[in-house]
With several copies, the nearest count.
Chain A
Amino acid sequence: MSKKKLIVKGVRLDGRKWNELRPIKIEGGVLPNADGSAYLEQGRNRIIVGVFGPRELHPKHLAKPHKAVLRCRYHMAPFSVDPRRSPAPSRRDTELSMVIRNALEPALFLERYPRASIDVFVEILQADGSTRCASITAASVALVDAGIPMRDLVAACSAGKIDSEVVLDLNDIEDKEGEADLPVAYMPKLGKVTLLQMDGMLSPEEFDKALNLALEGCNKIYELQREALKSRYVKQGEGRSAE
């Protein structure tokens, strides 16, 4: 649907190469009241995640006898997008809350906490494309910050197609004007993809290329998550590619 050129002489509008991530900053333990938390910037995305639990689930009839219930909420601040959006949840919010939950669940030992809930609340303060991936990346760090044991960290990154090229980590305009968006979440140690959606059109070959590129992005982000958890803070400078 695009008319505007998104890649000019091999360079994307924000100056990146096809296989380059946006600058990323991750910080754990940013909220005093939450059991765990993380703040993430990826390009102009600003996301804060708070984790509560394992804790007693209310109302009790929703509790499960043999495992914890993982609850996720993806929520956008009214000022996070242009024009301002209503604070009431949209259908998109509902779907994203669900796919984020599905992306995180394989990493957790829910069976260890019968009758409990683990609550992951994602607040999008500013949205700039690929927010569901960034939310999963941040939530993963917040879960570790909460002291909740995990099988592996879940790292997430999108790939996509713009101006007929497969590229990494779509920003807002690339998502809206581009030809395909492929958000992926991955547990690198376990080799499992836990989020996989696609919008737009890709040939099977392009899909293969885009999936591999997204996984490279996930691996890179995985390293940043681990650094952030070691030092409580990590910032990846500009101009670093995924390879």
Chain B
Amino acid sequence: MKRKRISTALAQGKREDGRGLMDFRKIVIKKGILEKAEGSAEVWLGDTRVIAGVKVGVGEPYQDTPNQAVLTVNAEFTPIASPTFEPGPPDETSIELARVVDRGIRSSEAIDFEKYCIIPGKAVYVIFIDICILNYAGNLIDASALAALAALQSTKVPKYVAEGGEVKPLDASEPLELRDLPIAVTVGKIDGSLIVDPTADEEDVMGTRFTVTVNQEGNICALQKSGPEGLTLEEIRKAINIALEKAPEIRKLLMES
């Protein structure tokens, strides 16, 4: 029934909610909404609502990257976000979400990890991005990637100095330096039609979800295909082009927020 409704609309080049196939829902971005986190942002994508918080601390680097900061991205589907979400440890979906957001930031080299090293091999900045899904109405990846980036844009990094092999905090902070703004654009395929920014209902009937993350220079910095159906080469190319076209629009919104 839901399927039929969605298919009928798509057959006429429209979406259930009246949007065109290539239209995003209304995007609202608020940066710096929390005082206690070093960075934070809230994003609405239609009824989808996501908060990202950034916490910055000091810790040990990984053994194989002794002079690089550590980044950890984590996502939680809170049970308030949908009647079907249950409290508990992260499941497959929230792990994938966090990893796709992480990959976009990491691959675009948006953060200069070497700049955020304090004492090589001993102490580096540890940056946590925690994504909290408050209302689920589809397209969590795009919303979460955007919230993570907006939160990073609002992030103030507390200053530390190395003194005699020890790390001392200074009573100062400076904005996190971001070298890129990778934007995730998710394309869905329903009955052979490609659409952007799927709703929860559309996701339910979607055979494939394909996320393309695009950096400032129009390069691709992460891909993630999901769902039980395949894509033709033609569809892949189309989806890539859609993302290359949409990403700058969303980046513009982000920069103006």
Contact = CB atoms under 8 A, between A and B. Distances in A.
Interface in B192-208: none
Contacts, number: 184
Contacts of B220: 198, 201-204, 207
Interface in A161-212: 180, 182, 187, 190-204, 207-208, 211
Task: Give the secondary structure class of A's interface.
Answer: mixed
B96 interface: yes
Interface stretch (A16-24, A43-51, A222-230): A43-51
B201 to A, nearest CB: 13
B33 to A, nearest CB: 8
Interface in B212-229: 215, 218-229
A128 B37 CA distance: 12
Interface stretch (B10-18, B126-134, B249-257): B126-134
B128 A79 contact: yes
Interface string A71-115: 001010111111110011001101101110010011000000000
Interface residues on A, range: 35 or more
A211 B239 CA distance: 14
Interface stretch (B76-84, B115-123, B163-171): B76-84
A178 B2 CA distance: 45
A106 B231 CA distance: 10
Interface of B: 33-37, 40, 47, 49, 51, 53-55, 57, 74, 76, 78-83, 87, 89-90, 92, 95-96, 98-99, 103, 107-109, 128, 130, 132, 134-137, 210, 215, 218-233, 236-237, 240, 244
Given A75-B87, A99-B226, 19 more contacts: A32-B137, A33-B82, A33-B137, A34-B80, A50-B78, A50-B80, A80-B36, A87-B130, A91-B99, A98-B92, A125-B53, A127-B36, A193-B230, A193-B232, A196-B223, A198-B223, A199-B222, A201-B219, A204-B244
15 contacts: A33-B82, A50-B79, A81-B36, A84-B128, A87-B76, A91-B95, A102-B226, A121-B80, A123-B78, A123-B80, A182-B223, A201-B108, A201-B221, A202-B219, A203-B220
